[in-house]
Structure 1
Amino acid sequence: MYDFIAIKQNINEYESSKILTPEIGDREELAQFRGSLLTLFGEPDYKTSDAENAFQYTIKATNNVQNSYEIVVYQGPSGLAIAGNKNEASVLNAAQFFVEYVKKARPADFDEKLVYEDTGYIIGYGCKNGVCYYKESLQNTTTLKRNRIRLADLTPGQLNEIHEIIENDFTKIKDPDDSWFWKEDLLNFSTIDFPLIRDLMRKDLSLVLGKPIGLDEVIQMGSDEGFDPQFSSETPEMALNALAEIWAWKTTAGKPSQKKRLDCSSFAWTISRAVYGFYGGNLNRNHALANALYEEYEDKITSQEDTLRFFYALLELFKFKRLNNMSLS
């Protein structure tokens, strides 16, 4: 038996991937399940009108011996799904109990409209007095989303930065224990040029700190700014995430705010996904758009220039502007 409560999502402390596709129909049953979630847990972490990123809940499951597990329930591109730590067998068990628990609850009244932007289909679904409905219709194509974000066009200065980073060799480190991160190239793992992004961010943060940084400095800066970075050589994606978070926070313009903090985390997780293939849901709408951008261009990023174009497209999406002094002389 489990007790389930909704909690505030903290993806930095919790690695997740899709572990279960509930046996729920994609029409009235889906509406009923969402209505039952609303009855049991109230409003979700977030909701959108995007049919491929409709809503998300973060749930804490506690069993009768007080062991706790976190799962993420969301409606994504493939429908309803649950994410969790796939390395813990007990998490899957908790997720299965959770599905049955939700199915037994009477659905709350709600009415939502979702859009499949690539096809123009509108989904209207909800529940009223315990009766759930699901309707599809085709919207006028003139209302479909235009001007989708694409890979950025690079300026001569941005292109030149590729050569400057290579020539300055930012892989030099003081602590040999850091070599698993700073000297890893991953060129046979991802189409993204990992060293280029890593060394660009390291260069910028070194300019901020006034000396070449290592992973100890990444941890210190992240902790000082409230990001709580935790990683080891066994979790390199978390090291990249920590580096990207503090880079976005410290080296892009804008006042510190909760929105920027969340966008920094979303940006970092998108970079980690592009390099390491790690995906655990979306933190907010911008994160969903960033993941969609990566999915659209994943097979088209084949060079350092493409990598930098993708990097700047993400900056445009999150409205991150690099500070003027973040360039090599």
Structure 2
Amino acid sequence: MYKKIVLLVLLCFLFTISCSSPNNPNSGNQSNNGGTTPPTTSPTEEELIAKYGIDISQADAEISKQIEANLKAYYTEMGSYRVIFTGTPKDYSNNKSLYELTLEAAVNVNTSMNIEMDISNIDFKDGIVPTGMFSGAVVDGSENIFISFKFPENKITTIGVRAFESLYNTKEITIPNSVTTIESEAFYLSSSIEKLTLGKNVKTIGDQAFLYTQGIKELVIPDSVTSIGVGAFSGSFIETLKLSSSLETIGDSAFDSTSITELTIPASVKSIGITAFAFSQQLTTVTYLGATPDAINNNSDVFIMCDSLKTLIVPNATNPNDNGWKTFLGGTFNTVTK
């Protein structure tokens, strides 16, 4: 009997200690004034914009100063690097681009980082990204700094001339679905881009829009696109290409010097310019979905210097034995099959 009483007392003592232990999840959450300390919560997106947003209408020196300060502060609070731009665009012909200002400020903070450039809160006038706003530059010490873009969902309809030219520190671009027009030289010489996703409502891709974007290996032209301009993807080493089923016009040298092995030309195409697919040395097979070899207005050297190109597939041909198929678009086809 005595042993049972001792054991009961011991168990009560241990229970009392455990309830007051610092390891108890219900203990230690009292504030100094006797209240309960609220749990730690992450700031809302609105709070982050209010705290870290940088008005782009300011002078370049002030923008640069704020970028550097905000990169440090944002990393301390959130554990990543982010630049949030707000306000209204200015004339970038007399000012540095926001991309260049960001790179210069980033070099002062660190020599290796991934930065999200949030442009979704900018008030783009008339839905246009203006010339030079995000054009790149060679900035010493920025070789290991990479910038990704957070685009707005429904604010941009047009990407202006040279708006994103010469990007050397961006690997991926996703064009928002609101965009209908990509103007000439918009991403000219942006050699670091490896992945390009075009929005599903793009209709026009301007002349030299992606000239020498040599990092792109796979490209899907969405079915909304009807026109691709002169030299639009010239000098890009594309390995896989899917054209829009609504495409009507392909400009001169639009896809010259690609690394594609196969190409399908939609029946919707009405015109293909001179040397549009020239110098594509690995191209072996073309499939054309139209009915007759003269359905496309073309120059005779669309496929000039495509030395491996020997096979033409015409599944919808009204007469696959038409001699016009053998020299279709200036090619030399040894095999024509339906």
TM-score bracket relative to the smaller structure: under 0.3
TM-score, normalization by structure 2: 0.17
Higher relative helix content: 1
Structure with greater Cα Rg: 2
